């Protein structure tokens, strides 16, 4: 084996299949080296001795199942990629699982060139497993229980809730949480983010509340997660618009004061965040104004450093025909600048700024 050559471990209890794969894939020894074993226990033994870049395994095997093997792989080699071979499942489920889960799937029977390309693609990817053992994608664990035709209970626990999904020979027959049971409980569990799981072998449900096929359940749960994600994005966008509206209303109130020409919310380097004033329809002038204020802040900062006065908090300067007021926004890389004529009531402006400052800092 060449130094730096990728290692691929294939695990399946069908000896004819592993023999064929070993022979056919030996032609690719310039790209990767293939090792084939016929049980999960053999795979664990060899993994304890040699690291592999990719593990391709059947999910339903005697003694040590594909799920047991995957947990072990993740414990030993978090960066190892995994491909699941299965004779069960639907194309829709496999496509969704490949897009969302920790593993890739290939359905038996497959063409050798299909597997060869999948190996090459998997070895090119930088990411393998993510995080700790508890960070398996929940959909992957459910699918492995179903594909392995297991009778078991999958117990899932988050910081706030816990629930259990029951499998009978690979079929999902019951699910329960503190508040729900049946399909509602299943979909609720699938919406959880993070958490830990435990597979309890040969645990059976006291009652059956789910009759829908597991493929349909998974696809529906994925649809609901997408729907909820879209809803969350829309709610976040609405919240953003609400905050922006409040900020504009505050700036508008300040702008309406007598003598005020510009009310400008900007970053330290002068990047415009919000503006209310007499040049609202001239973005190039607003940009120039931001650059001017940024230069003013920089020069002022030099003097305060020389005087050891610390960072600028509030700055007011009265020229013959103009008044400049600049206020730092607490906890933000932002400043509120007010520019106007000499007749501005500066005392009133200071009171208004102090009144709105906490809310403004919170909204940004």
* Three-state SS letters, the chain: CCCCCEEEEEECCCHHHHHHHHHHHHHHCCCEEEEEECCHHHHHHHHCCCCCCEEEEECCCCCCCHHHHHHHHHHHCCCCEEEEEECCCCHHHHHHHHHHCCCEEEECCCCHHHHHHHHHHHHHCCCCCCCCHHHCCHHHHHHHHHHCCCCEEEEEECCCCEEEEEEECCEEEEEEECCCECHHHHHHHHCCCCCEEEEEECCCCCCCCCCCCHHHHHHHHHHHHHHHHHHHHHHHHHHHHHHHHHHHHHHHHHHCCCCEEEEEEECCCCCEEEEEECCCCCHHHHHHHHHHHHHHHHHHHHHHHHCCCCCCCEEEEECCCEEEEEEECCCCCCEEEEEEECCCCHHHHHHHHHHHHHHHHHHC
pLDDT at 102 over 90: no
Rg (alpha carbons) of the chain, rounded to whole number: 31
- pLDDT for the residue 97: 47
- pLDDT for the residue 131: 32
pLDDT at 250 over 50: yes
For 1-132, CATH number out of 3.40.50.12280, 3.40.50.2300, 3.20.20.30, 1.10.4160.10 equals: 3.40.50.2300
CATH placement of domain 239-363: 3.30.450.30
pLDDT digits (tens, 9 = 90+) for 64-101: 777 778 777 877 777 788 888 876 554 554 555 455 44
- Decide: residue 8, CB within 10 A, 0-12 exposed, 13-18 middle, 19+ buried: buried
Out of 75-79, 141-145, 153-157, the most confident range is: 153-157
pLDDT band for 2, please (50, 70, 90 cuts). Answer: low
Identify the residue whose tokens are 């649809």.
Answer: 223
Q: Among 50-64, 131-145, 349-363, whose mean pLDDT is lowest?
A: 131-145
Residues of the chain with CATH 3.30.450.30: 239-363
pLDDT at 8 over 90: yes
pLDDT band for 300, please (50, 70, 90 cuts). Answer: confident
CA-to-CA distance for 256 and 261, rounded, in angstroms?
A: 9
CA-to-CA distance for 255 and 310, rounded, in angstroms?
A: 30
Residues of the chain with CATH 3.40.50.2300: 1-132
> What is the overall mean pLDDT for the chain?
84
pLDDT at 226 over 70: yes
Q: Which two tokens stand for residue 328?
A: 């730092």
């Amino acid at each position: 084996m060449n130094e730096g050559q990728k290692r691929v471990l294939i695990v399946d209890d069908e000896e004819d299949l592993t023999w064929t794969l070993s022979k056919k894939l030996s032609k690719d020894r310039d790209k990767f080296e293939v090792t084939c074993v016929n049980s999960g226990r053999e795979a664990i033994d060899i993994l304890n001795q040699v690291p592999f870049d990719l593990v391709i395994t059947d999910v339903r095997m005697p003694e040590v199942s594909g799920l047991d093997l995957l947990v072990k792989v993740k414990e030993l080699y978090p960066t190892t990629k995994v491909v699941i071979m299965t004779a069960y499942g639907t194309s829709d489920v496999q496509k969704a699982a490949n897009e969302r889960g920790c593993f890739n799937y290939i359905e038996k029977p497959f063409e050798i060139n299909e597997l060869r390309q999948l190996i090459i693609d998997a070895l090119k990817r930088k990411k393998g497993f993510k995080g700790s053992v508890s960070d398996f994608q929940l959909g992957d664990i459910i699918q492995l229980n179903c594909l392995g035709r297991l009778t078991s209970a999958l117990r899932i626990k988050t910081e706030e809730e816990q629930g259990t999904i029951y499998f009978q020979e690979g079929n999902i027959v019951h699910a329960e949480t503190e508040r729900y049971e049946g399909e509602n409980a299943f979909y609720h569990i699938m919406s959880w983010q993070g958490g830990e799981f435990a597979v309890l072998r040969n645990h059976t449900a006291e009652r059956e509340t789910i009759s829908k096929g597991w493929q349909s359940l998974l696809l529906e749960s994925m649809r609901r997660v997408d729907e909820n994600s879209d809803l969350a994005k829309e709610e976040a966008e609405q919240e953003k618009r609400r905050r922006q509206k409040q900020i504009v209303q505050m700036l508008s109130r300040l702008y309406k004061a007598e003598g005020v020409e510009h009310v400008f919310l900007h970053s330290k380097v002068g990047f415009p965040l919000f503006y209310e004033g007499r040049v609202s329809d001239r973005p190039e002038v607003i940009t120039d104004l931001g650059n001017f204020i940024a230069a003013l802040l920089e020069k002022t900062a030099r003097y305060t450093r020389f005087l050891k006065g610390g960072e600028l908090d509030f700055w007011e300067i009265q020229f013959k025909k103009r008044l400049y007021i600049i206020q730092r926004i607490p906890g933000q890389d932002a400043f509120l600048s007010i520019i106007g004529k000499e007749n501005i009531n500066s005392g009133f402006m200071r009171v208004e700024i102090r009144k709105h400052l906490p809310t403004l800092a919170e909204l940004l």
